[in-house]
Structures are given as structure tokens and as C-alpha cells.
């Protein structure tokens, strides 16, 4: 049962520079369904629109980003509601309680001159009344204990904590109100491998305790392999392949995914690895047809003219490539 879905979502950055209009097609027709209590991974290189996609899914559309087309639905109390028809006040109430968003580099958002716990009251103030504060403090300690985080970190200043611990505290705080959906945008990117493992394990244990849904955005395919249940591969503003994690690694279909998986270095393997040829496309002026065709070895005439449709070619395995299906996206 999907808990969040989007239909033909299009969202562009529209910039006006000295009277000249620039349109950056960051999210260009994404349809996805995220199932209840799964970890859905979104992978792709920087500038492919993955961060923009999750911002739109969170309903955070601020100029210059604007919604062009499509819709996002959350399933709440058994029915789907479209978030773009909700009044701003309603949407704000959903945040942190129903869906929470951990933006990129969020370990640096803590106010440096107040203690972590005071920052937390700042964030959460809108959702609790003053009388509840004392009770909350107690359950916050319980929550930290359950996740195996030292509770003395709550009374530390941000600079006293290591990067990995700061990130884990942020993740814990963002999930304290038990949201149904957690969106984590590159939660481990600036961390070293040991701290990264700590954050990933924390996300995983939160998910197993609270049984919620996680949408995880990262470019690191190693992280996806260790935590995601399903993966959507994004390229130039669209999801081009989606399947179960094992399936993506064992039998990637789209030529881009194949390159991506093959180029990953592994310990214990010194064989020569090649990266994807060419350079990532500019979203301001994307190539015609299939956006991967200038870099693709299998490119055919039709790839330059038409956009392949995102279709299910194997059970639960969707891909947008003319090698597998000749259907054209209208």
C-alpha cells in the first residue's frame, strides 16, 4: 500500500536574469509510489534533481522553484490527500508529525550558541504546549536511550560534538515525534565511513522501532546497498529505473545504471573500472529524446527523437529505455 505517491510531477526553477528567462528542468515528470514502512532510495549524480524532487515531495516549493504540473499525495487516515490543495497551515501541521525532512548538511543547522536541547525546543515548540515540555524531556531521554545515543549530548553545545554524533542527534530529533515518513537528503555525505555507519544504523533502528517509511537520497551506491529496500535511479530530472535493491545490483537494465554499478570500486578487486563516458547534461538545456543518449553506447535513431516511457518490463522492475520497450512517453 503506497503511503506517498506523485503523478507526473514537474517542477522547474525559473530564473530571471537581466530580463532573460532561464528555465532549469529539475524535476521533469516523476511518477513514483512509496510503500508503507519501506526504505526507498533515490540515487543519481549531483545536479540530476534528486534533492529538488524530495523538496517538492515535502511540499517545500519556494521561488525560484515552481510547480509546473502534477500532484503529490500523502495517505492520511486511509485516504489520499493532495498536498498542493491543502492550506499552508494544515501542511505545516503535517510536518514533523506526519512527514519530516532532514535536509542536506543538516548537522550544521544547529544554533552554535545554545545547547542542543534548547535548539530542539525551538524546532518543536509549534507542536507542543508549554505544560507538555517537562513530560517531553523525559520521553526524549527515553528515546535517546532506546536508540543507544548518550543523553549527555543533549546538554552539549554543537561544537563539542563530532560530526557523526551531531548528525545522529539531528536524525533522532527529527524523528522524535514519530513521523510516518522521513525524508533524509544525503544524511551521510560529509561523514567518514565509521560515522556514516553509525548514522545508517541509527536510521535503520529508528525504522525498526517506529516502523515508518524512509525516503533516502544519496549518490553513494554503497549506502543504498546496505540500507535501501527499493531504489529509484534518477538521471536528468527523471527516474529512469526502479527495482528492488538486489535486482538493481544484479541485473541493472538501463545503460546508465549498468555503468554506475560497474564503476564501483570494491575492496579485494583491483580490476580496471571505467566511469560513464561524457559529462552530465545541463538541466537548463537538456538533450532531446532520451536524455542519456549522448553518453549511451546503445543509442539508436529513435533515442534522439522520442522520450522512452517508464514501464514495467519485469515484475516490479521499471525502466525507461527503448532497448526494453518501444513505448513512447507522450
Partner 1 sequence: MTDNNYILKVENLTKIFTLGNIFSRIKIVAVNNVSFEIREGEVFTLAGESGSGKTTVARIILGFHEPTSGKIIYKGKDLTNLNKEDRNFFRREVQAIFQNPFESFNPLRKVSSYLYETLENFNIARDNKDEVVEKALRSVGLSREEVIDKYPTEFSGGQLQRISIARALITKPSLLIADEPVSMIDASLRMSIVNLFKELKEKSNVSVIYITHDLATAYYISDKIAIMFRGEIVESGEVEKVLMEPKHPYTMVLSESIPEPDPKRRWKKQISLSAFEEEEFLLKGCKFAKRCSFVMEECKKQEIPYFEINGRKVKCLLYK
* Sites of contact with partner 1 (CB under 8 A): 45-46, 148, 150, 152-153, 156, 160-165, 168, 190-198, 200-201, 219-223, 225-227, 245-246, 249, 256, 259-261, 263-270, 272-276, 279-280
Q: Which is nearer to partner 1, 71 or 245 (CB)?
A: 245
Choose between 90 and 192: whose C-beta lies nearer to partner 1. 192
Nearer to partner 1, 5 or 224 (CB): 224
In the complex, least distance from residue 10 CB atom to partner 1, rounded to whole angstroms: 24
In whole angstroms, the minimum distance from the beta carbon of 237 to partner 1 comes to 15
How many whole angstroms separate alpha carbon 123 and alpha carbon 105?
17
Peptide bond into 64 cis (omega under 30): yes
Instruction: Find out whether 4 and 72 touch, Cβ atoms under 8 Å.
Output: yes
Contacts of 74 (CB under 8 A, 6+ apart): 3, 4, 80, 81, 83, 94, 98, 99, 181
Q: How far apart are CA 103 and CA 86, in angstroms?
A: 23
CB of 279 to partner 1, least distance (A): 5
Comparing CB distances to partner 1, the nearer of 6 and 167 is 167
**Alpha carbons 32 and 74: distance in angstroms, whole number:** 12
Strand order in the sheet with 181-185: 99-102, 181-185, 213-217, 39-43, 230-235, 238-244, 317-319, 311-314
Contacts of 274 (CB under 8 A, 6+ apart): 259, 262, 263
Least distance from C-beta 150 to partner 1, angstroms? Answer: 5
Given the complex with partner 1, which of 61 and 225 has the nearer CB atom? 225
Q: Which is nearer to partner 1, 94 or 223 (CB)?
A: 223
Closest separation between CB of residue 206 and partner 1, Å? 13
**Min CB(252)–partner 1 separation in Å:** 12
Cβ-contact 171, 102 below 8 angstroms: yes
Amino acid at each position: 500500500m503506497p503511503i506517498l505517491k506523485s503523478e507526473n510531477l514537474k517542477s522547474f526553477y525559473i530564473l530571471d536574469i537581466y530580463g532573460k528567462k532561464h528555465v532549469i528542468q529539475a524535476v521533469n515528470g516523476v511518477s513514483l509510489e512509496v510503500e508503507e514502512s519501506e526504505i526507498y532510495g533515490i540515487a543519481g549524480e549531483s545536479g540530476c534533481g534528486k534533492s529538488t524532487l524530495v523538496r517538492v515531495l515535502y511540499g517545500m516549493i519556494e521561488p525560484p522553484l515552481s510547480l509546473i504540473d502534477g500532484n503529490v499525495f500523502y495517505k492520511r487516515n486511509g485516504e489520499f490527500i493532495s498536498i498542493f490543495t491543502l492550506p499552508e497551515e494544515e501542511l505545516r501541521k503535517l510536518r514533523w508529525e506526519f512527514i519530516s525532512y532532514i535536509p542536506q548538511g543538516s548537522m550544521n543547522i544547529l544554533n552554535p550558541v545554545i545547547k542542543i536541547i534548547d535548539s530542539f525546543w525551538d524546532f518543536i515548540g509549534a507542536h507542543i504546549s508549554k505544560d507538555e515540555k517537562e513530560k517531553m524531556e523525559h520521553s526524549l531521554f527515553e528515546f535517546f536511550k532506546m536508540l543507544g545515543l548518550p543523553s549527555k549530548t543533549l546538554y552539549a553545545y554543537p561544537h563539542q560534538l563530532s560530526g557523526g554524533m551531531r548528525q545522529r542527534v539531528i536524525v533522532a530529533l527529527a524523528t522524535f515525534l514519530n513521523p510516518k515518513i522521513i525524508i533524509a537528503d544525503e544524511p551521510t555525505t560529509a561523514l567518514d565511513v565509521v560515522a556514516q555507519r553509525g548514522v545508517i544504523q541509527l536510521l535503520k533502528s529508528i525504522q525498526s522501532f517506529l516502523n515508518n517509511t524512509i525516503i533516502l537520497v544519496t549518490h553513494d551506491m554503497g549506502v543504498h546497498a546496505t540500507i535501501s529496500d527499493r531504489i529509484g535511479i534518477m538521471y536528468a530530472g527523471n527516474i529512469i529505473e526502479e527495482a528492488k535493491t538486489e535486482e538493481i545490483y544484479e541485473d541493472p537494465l538501463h545503460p546508465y545504471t549498468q555503468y554506475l554499478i560497474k564503476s564501483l570500486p570494491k575492496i579485494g578487486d583491483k580490476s580496471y573500472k571505467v566511469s560513464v563516458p561524457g559529462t552530465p547534461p545541463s538541466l537548463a538545456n537538456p538533450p532531446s529524446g532520451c536524455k542519456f543518449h549522448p553518453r549511451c553506447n546503445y543509442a539508436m535513431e529513435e533515442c534522439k527523437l522520442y522520450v522512452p516511457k517508464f514501464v514495467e518490463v519485469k515484475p516490479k522492475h521499471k525502466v525507461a529505455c527503448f532497448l526494453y520497450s518501444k513505448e513512447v512517453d507522450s
